[in-house]
Structure 1
């Protein structure tokens, strides 16, 4: 549901509920997550390579769930461990990249899967995208793993 298009009272009540349930910092992240999916860049940000930085996690799919749950809790519990973001909408990947200080972003899943510094990949996708992912990305990941052995 796109809360940004709802009436002001609805949005206010939603924020009050989030604040009661999650506290102020998580509420702010959940609000930012709603706007993250709509972000457009006049010019996409430059990647910042950080080899050997301890960043070893990739995220495939950069929607609201990836932004406000996966990336939020990874940073909160483990620090800056996310190396790469991938989404078919490059602006979403760039937005997640900027918000969480990653090394790079892309719209090509095989780049994240083949990255030798990534040893854990989260797939965050809606149901329709999951069907496509179930057949494609795991096979590519298995091939990349076999190639690196």
Structure 2
């Protein structure tokens, strides 16, 4: 039976001074995780709706100060890097502003809502020589490094199928960002980016995309199954705003399979099943991800990863390149078009 590796040890990340654009729920989780579990420090925050909201956020989450506008945060000489945590529809505009200001930038997923906008952000960052990264925290969790090592070793043989799902029930509200086309609502952009990105992390860019699903009354996609085609493999990603799915992921090969415990997108464990006659004569092993920050506290991993890469002189993540990010955004865009989503 194969033995399961442990996550590789990483050097201590240098401390960056961060600015925050968009003091919402995910921003609160990210800032708290960074402050409690890393040396990253947030020194400035601004809200697009009101200075008072930014001030209240700074006081509640230990941010050094607040500003009246996004532009003031970007002009702050004490800000090394910017975390953009606004709604999807503003990601591209704010990322380009941050890059133009010479700031390293992390943008919440999805990077943008269209492939063309994603490419604009990537081109601008490369031209400016600043670091740019999509905040796909799953890539930096311990179990993701265990998975990478297993695939690098070829333990399960040739990969033939990768599956992942993420669905959750959301109360239908046409004014909510999840259901509003004007705020880039829909299941694919909000939740579907996770399973599609997981498939991409194993198989890369597909040769074709095939999508089935349903639309909400507002015209956004409320549920979708996306099949990604490769020369010898397939990827299947499911997402929904109507139902809770197991939130698991599997990589199935010619000699065995790897199963990521649910929820696969947060800290979890990994099971490996080996044997030509599995499951009847299967041998199994399991690695537990119980150590380290759990739940949203594990957002600290991606904060430290970005700081580490910047300290090494890189301009993008080597395990989640910007070319791959553009590809995933393109998959999501094509899937929405195939459904006729607004």
Normalising by structure 1, we get a TM-score of: 0.51
2:78 to 117, 121, 124: 117
What's the counterpart of residue 101 of structure 1?
Answer: 62
Larger Rg: 2
What's the counterpart of residue 26 of structure 2?
Answer: 65
Give 1:141 shift. Answer: 3.3
Give 1:120 shift. Answer: 1.8
Q: Distance in 2 between matches of 1:96 and 1:72?
A: 11
8 Å Cα contact 2:17/2:40 also seen in 1: no
Q: Distance in 2 between matches of 1:102 and 1:79?
A: 13
Instruction: Please state which structure has a larger fraction of its residues in strand.
Output: 2
2:43 to 83, 86, 95: 83
8 Å Cα contact 1:80/1:100 also seen in 2: no
Instruction: Please state which structure has a larger fraction of its residues in helix.
Output: 1
Any gaps of 5 or more consecutive residues in structure 2?
1-14, 104-127, 130-342
Matches within 5 A, 1:1-149: 56-67=17-28, 69-78=29-38, 81-89=41-49, 90-141=51-102
Q: Distance in 2 between matches of 1:83 and 1:55?
A: 10
Q: Distance in 1 between matches of 2:39 and 2:62?
A: 11
Q: 3-state DSSP class of the match of 2:44?
A: strand
Q: Deviations over 1:99-126 (max 9, x none)?
A: 1222211132222222222212111111
Any gaps of 5 or more consecutive residues in structure 1?
1-53
- Provide the aligned length of Structure 1 versus Structure 2: 90
- Return closer, same or farther for 1:80/1:92 CA change in 2, 3 Å cut-off: farther
8 Å Cα contact 2:16/2:81 also seen in 1: no
Q: Deviations over 1:44-90 (max 9, x none)?
A: xxxxxxxxxx88211111111101x2111111112672111111122
- Return closer, same or farther for 1:139/1:80 CA change in 2, 3 Å cut-off: closer
Normalising by structure 2, we get a TM-score of: 0.24
